[in-house]
Amino acid sequence: MQADDGFFILLIEGKNKPDYMFAKSLTRRGYHLGLAESGSAGLALLEQFSPRVIVINCASLRTNGRRIMGRFRNLLPYTPIILITAPAQEVPESDQANVVLQLPFTVQKLINRLRAFEITDSRHLLSLDGLHLNTQTNMADYGSREVKLTPRLCRLLKELMLAKGEVIPRAELFKLVWETDYIEDTRTLDVHISWLRHALEDDPSHPELILTERGVGYKLKLG
């Protein structure tokens, strides 16, 4: 199965370790690549094309990828990033990458991850009164804030947005987000609501977007 003709990938991959290179394999399978041997070279390629996915092959570079990811996130906050690390390489603790793959793995595993990003239609995008969420990249923006959420926080915000300002009872919201029928202890929900407020609110201690309906649950304030 070949890739979508409009599916362009920016692959940052050095030539230091041929065994850890993927460019030829991806090209043979029909992927259109912009190939760069460094982060700076990859940034320069952005003047020529807009990638749908950025793949940073740290296993072939002398870097853990943290700085490179940060530079691309500043320019392309919604573009998915796949980070490839060497077998013994320490995986950087960062929320910049959408996917982290540690070698060894087959090229098919990389292709499977790429295919997850091939479909980017409206079902991944939610907008509500100036609040925007991309459930594919876990990116949200509200006002002047633009953040990458954890998958759980993304799911929580999605459910609040789908309710369109209606109060969701705590137990129901917990069931939806944690996909469980066990609702004896929903305090973890309150913790995640606090984290979401810190991500999106200007003053999390006095929230204006994510409101508490005392004794009931949570809702988004619209308008």
pLDDT, tens digit, for every residue of 10-63?
999 998 777 778 999 999 988 899 999 999 999 999 988 889 899 999 989 888
Q: Which of 42, 44, 94 is nearest to 64 (CA)?
A: 94
Average pLDDT of span 72-98: 82
Contact by Cβ (8 Å): 10, 34: yes
Residue 1 has pLDDT above 50, yes or no: no
What are the residue boundaries of the structural domains of the chain, listed by start?
8-115, 122-220
Work out the pLDDT band at 123, boundaries 50, 70, 90.
Answer: low
Confirm whether 8-115 and 122-220 share one CATH topology.
Answer: no
Q: Is the pLDDT of residue 4 over 80?
A: no
Q: Give the CATH number of domain 122-220; options: 1.10.1660.10, 3.40.50.720, 2.40.50.140, 1.10.10.10.
A: 1.10.10.10
pTM more than 0.85: no
Instruction: For domain 8-115, give the CATH superfamily.
Output: Response regulator (3.40.50.2300)
